[in-house]
Homo-oligomer: A and B are copies of this chain.
C-alpha cells in the first residue's frame, strides 16, 4: 500500500481534481463527512473513518466503516493513523482546507505532527498544493508558477532558494515579521534549503 488518498470534509475538491488524485491512488480513506463527498461523485471509498457525526451513507453501503470516537484526535488524524497502519508511504489529502479556519489550522498542525511518518504528505485543494518541505528540497516546476513559503510554527532560519523571482539567501521567515508569500518560479529546478524550523511550501495550480 504505497499511495493513499484521504478525503476530508472541508471545501470539496472539484470532480476533476478528485479523479486526478483518485485514479493513481492505491487506497481511498474518507475522513467522516468526506465519505459523502466521495459517494456524491459516484465513488465508494475503501473505508470511512471518524466519529461519524457527519457521515450519512445513502444508499446503504458495502465498504468498511470504522467508528473512532476519540475526542482528542480530529478526523484527519484518525485517517492518517489508519494510513500508517495500512503501510501508506505517499499521502495526498483533499478537502482539508477552505471552510472553517479552525479546521484548516488544526489540519496544518496535524500535517506537522505526521510529516515525519511518511515519505510525503501533501494537502491539495482547488487552488494549489501545500506541503512541509525537507531541509533540502528540489523540484522542477513550470516557469511562472506562483509559490509561497510560510513558517508553520515560529521562525524558520537559514533559508536559501534558487529558481525563484525573489530569492532568499540565508534568511529567516517568521509570521507577522517576514514571510515568503507571492513568489514565482523563474528557473529550473527550484531549490530550497534551510537550517531550522517547519517550512510550508504552497504551490498554486491556477
Contacts and interface: CB of A to CB of B under 8 A. Distances in A.
Give the one of A71, A101, A109, A198 with max B CB within 10 A.
Answer: A101
A154 B176 CA distance: 12
B153 A130 contact: no
A contact residues, range: 35 or more
A151 B148 contact: no
Interface string A108-146: 111111010000000101011010000000000000001
A174 B113 CA distance: 11
B153 A153 contact: yes
Contact of A198 (B111, B175, B182): B175
A102 B74 contact: no
Contact of A100 (B99, B176, B204): B204
A55 interface: no
Interface in A35-51: none
Given A112-B175, A154-B154, A181 B130 contact: no
Interface of A: 11, 71, 74, 97-106, 108-113, 115, 123, 125, 127-128, 130, 146, 148, 150-155, 174-177, 179, 181-182, 198, 200, 202, 204
